[in-house]
């Protein structure tokens, strides 16, 4: 795979045609890059080709002329300078393995997926190192970024973390635009962790609001969620400062307080007394926090990290505990000093 000249337009394969992958594809095409957008569902991709948009997830936002939806993965990868993976986290490992087999010489990947590997609770860069080896250059882009706002060109800031400083700078230049500011970082684990666990806390915030507990409870919940995020992140070798930035407190605040968040909407529905099945039917998209709650709880127990909010969200989602019982447990915990 040739190294891209980021002073010139690149050809980029965006793998994952959901709302986030499509939004990033639109953004990159607006920066002058040739973008091929691929998703696993052939029928859906053919509809995008015909309609010139992602009518399901980003209605009324037309694809730029430099964005081409494609039906096959081979079409997407043909001549690609960069591969951006934006599939749900549960599909990340299989997607990367498939791409690596088709492009054996490619040793540079960037992803926008948020979450853990299902069943192992590994961060996604650990999957990359297993498949490609530790010598690969890789990067993750994350932050407080709702897909629709990115697709519309509204002001956005994100963090791009990489194990290769030169690669990080090249990618930052590729993504950077008039309304899209990119900061670089070397804390891959910290950036990934923030993007994964904030969905769990957004469900908690939604439950609180669904129960009608008000702004005081929401503020307390977000603050203590940040403390839990930092404890786990540092234990996983993330940098403490990362969690005070865009991919930590920034993404946490956005996801916990805005109803564009699917995870928050799930929590609201549960707080209002709906079942998980009823809520998911209404949302009609992947809600990453359901699986992330399981993986985060696994990590907390494995590492001996105190994460009471995560434990109660896990119990509501996977152990049939009621929302009110979970809140009662949190309120009745023993008094202690405020620890970050």
pLDDT band at 132 (very low <50, low <70, confident <90, very high): very high
**DSSP element (H, E) containing 82:** strand 82-85
Stated pTM of the model: 0.92
* Distance, CA of 129 to CA of 125 (rounded, Å): 6
Task: Quote the pLDDT of residue 8.
Answer: 57
* Distance, CA of 289 to CA of 291 (rounded, Å): 5
Q: What angle do CA 291, 111, 179 make, to 5 degrees?
A: 110
SS (H, E, C) 90-129: HHHHHHHHHHHHHCCCCCEEEECCCCECCCCCCEHHHHHH
Task: Quote the pLDDT of residue 2.
Answer: 40
pLDDT tens-digit series, residues 135-174: 999 999 999 999 999 999 999 999 999 999 999 999 999 9
Q: Tell me the CA distances in angstroms from 315 to 139, 189, 192, 198, 300, one per residue in order.
A: 33, 26, 24, 17, 14
Residues 75-101: what's their mean pLDDT? 96
Catalytic, out of 8, 30, 97, 198: 198
CATH code 3.40.50.720 for 11-186: yes
Domain map (residue ranges) of the chain = 11-186, 196-331
pLDDT at residue 325 tops 60: yes
pLDDT tens-digit series, residues 224-277: 999 999 999 999 999 999 999 999 999 999 999 999 999 999 999 999 999 999
pLDDT band at 330 (very low <50, low <70, confident <90, very high): confident
Residues 6, 17 contacting (CB under 8 angstroms): no
Return the structure tokens found at 34: 């040739």
Residues 170-188: what's their mean pLDDT? 96
pLDDT at residue 312 tops 50: yes
Closest CA to 191 of 250, 134, 137, 131: 250
Residues 70, 38 contacting (CB under 8 angstroms): yes
pLDDT at residue 7 tops 80: no
Compute the mean pLDDT over every residue in the chain, rounded to the nearest whole number: 94
198 is known as an active-site residue: yes
pLDDT tens-digit series, residues 191-236: 999 999 999 999 999 999 999 999 999 999 999 999 999 999 999 9
pLDDT at residue 14 tops 60: yes
Q: Tell me the CA distances in angstroms from 336 to 225, 325, 332, one per residue in order.
A: 16, 21, 12
Closest CA to 36 of 91, 4, 74: 74
Residues 309, 228 contacting (CB under 8 angstroms): yes
Long-range contacts of 5-8 (CB under 8 A, 24+ apart): 6/170, 6/171, 6/173, 6/174, 7/173
β-pair partners for 67? 35
The CATH architecture annotation of domain 196-331 reads Orthogonal Bundle (1.10)
pLDDT at residue 335 tops 90: no
H helices present in 110-187, as ranges? 124-132, 147-152, 165-175
């Amino acid at each position: 795979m040739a190294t891209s000249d980021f002073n010139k337009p690149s050809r980029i394969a965006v793998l994952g045609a959901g709302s986030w992958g499509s939004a990033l594809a639109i953004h990159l095409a607006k920066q002058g890059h040739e973008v091929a957008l691929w998703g696993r569902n052939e029928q859906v991709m053919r509809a995008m080709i015909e309609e010139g948009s992602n009518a399901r997830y980003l209605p009324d936002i037309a694809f730029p002329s430099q964005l081409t939806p494609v039906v096959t993965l081979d079409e997407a990868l043909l001549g690609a300078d960069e591969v951006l993976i934006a599939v749900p986290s549960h599909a990340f490992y299989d997607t990367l393995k498939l791409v690596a087999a088709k492009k054996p010489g490619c040793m540079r990947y960037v992803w926008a997926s948020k979450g853990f590997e299902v069943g192992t609770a590994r961060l996604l860069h650990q999957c990359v190192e297993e498949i490609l080896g530790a010598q690969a250059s890789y990067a993750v882009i994350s932050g407080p970024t709702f897909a629709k706002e990115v697709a519309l060109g509204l002001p956005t800031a994100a963090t791009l973390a990489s194990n290769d400083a030169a690669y990080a700078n090249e990618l930052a230049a590729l993504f950077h635009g008039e309304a899209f500011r990119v900061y670089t970082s070397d804390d891959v684990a910290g950036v990934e962790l923030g993007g994964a666990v904030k969905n769990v806390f957004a469900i908690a915030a939604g439950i609180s609001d669904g129960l009608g507990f008000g702004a005081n409870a929401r503020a307390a919940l977000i603050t203590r969620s940040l403390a839990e995020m930092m404890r786990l992140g540092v234990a996983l070798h993330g940098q403490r400062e990362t969690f005070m930035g865009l991919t930590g407190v920034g993404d946490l605040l956005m996801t916990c307080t805005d109803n564009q968040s699917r995870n928050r909407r799930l929590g609201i529905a549960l707080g209002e007394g709906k079942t998980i099945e009823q809520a998911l039917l209404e949302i009609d998209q992947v809600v990453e926090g359901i699986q992330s709650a399981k993986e985060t709880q696994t990590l907390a127990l494995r590492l001996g990290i105190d994460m009471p909010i995560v434990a109660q969200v896990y119990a509501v989602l996977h152990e049939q505990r009621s929302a009110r019982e979970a809140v009662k447990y949190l309120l009745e915990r023993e008094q202690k000093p405020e620890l970050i």
